[in-house]
Homo-oligomer: A and B are copies of this chain.
Amino acid sequence: MSHAEITVLGYALLGLIQQRPASGYDLRKIFTETPMGGYSDSPGAIYPALRRLEAMQLVTSRIEAGTGMRRRKVLHLTPTGLDALKEWLTRPIRQHEIANHLPELMLRFSFLDSAAGTAATLQFLRSYEAELKNYLPVLKNIYTEMAAKMPLSGRLALENGILGYEAQLQWAANAIKQYASKEKLP
């Protein structure tokens, strides 16, 4: 088994299919019509990605031939697929992802609740908050070291990043509150 690697696009597709079975066309529409568009909306990426998932037996396809309907290949998640999705969702958060792959973390979070449950979601949020608190001082250090050498727009761009992470921190605190109260009321 050489490459059992799943791309971010692959995980995004798994997550959407977990929420409800869907065709390639459905999935593509979600990408074009929602803020998930960052994860490729081109058929040349989606259809091959779906066939890879099928080859790995993470999804199965059933052709829906309802009368008066065009042929649709509807994809369903397999138990193995759900396992792979959960593994990704619950993977520990590293600082590198905080620094360079925030959107992917948010994508993971958006699927966590329905695929892995409240407890896993809370754990993610606490870990997310903790890593943000680790990373912010690092960023601020870089700022104080580099600000002098940079033009105003460069400094402002760095400040933009810092403000963004501070906003994440506030968001996380609020999200934790909501999930903590959800956990008590099953």
Distance between A83 CB and nearest chain B CB, rounded to angstroms: 19
Tell me which residues across on chain B come within 8 A of A146, comparing CB atoms: 34
Asked if A154 and B110 make an inter-chain contact with CB atoms under 8 angstroms apart, the answer reads: yes
- Oligomer: number of copies: 2
**Prevailing SS type, chain A contact patch:** helix
Asked if B160 and A171 make an inter-chain contact with CB atoms under 8 angstroms apart, the answer reads: yes
Bound CA–CA A179/B152 (angstroms)? 9
Asked if B179 and A106 make an inter-chain contact with CB atoms under 8 angstroms apart, the answer reads: no
Q: A residues bordering B, Cβ < 8 Å?
A: 33-35, 37-38, 99-101, 106-107, 109-114, 121, 139, 142, 146, 150-154, 156-161, 163-164, 167-168, 170-171, 175, 178-179, 182
Pull 7 A–B residue pairs with CB atoms less than 8 Å apart, ordered by A.
A37-B100, A109-B153, A110-B150, A111-B153, A114-B154, A156-B171, A167-B167
User: A106-B160, A111-B154 are known contacts; what are 20 more A-B pairs with Cβ within 8 Å?
Assistant: A33-B142, A34-B142, A34-B146, A106-B161, A109-B153, A110-B150, A110-B153, A110-B156, A112-B153, A113-B151, A113-B152, A113-B154, A114-B154, A152-B178, A156-B175, A156-B178, A160-B168, A163-B170, A164-B167, A167-B167
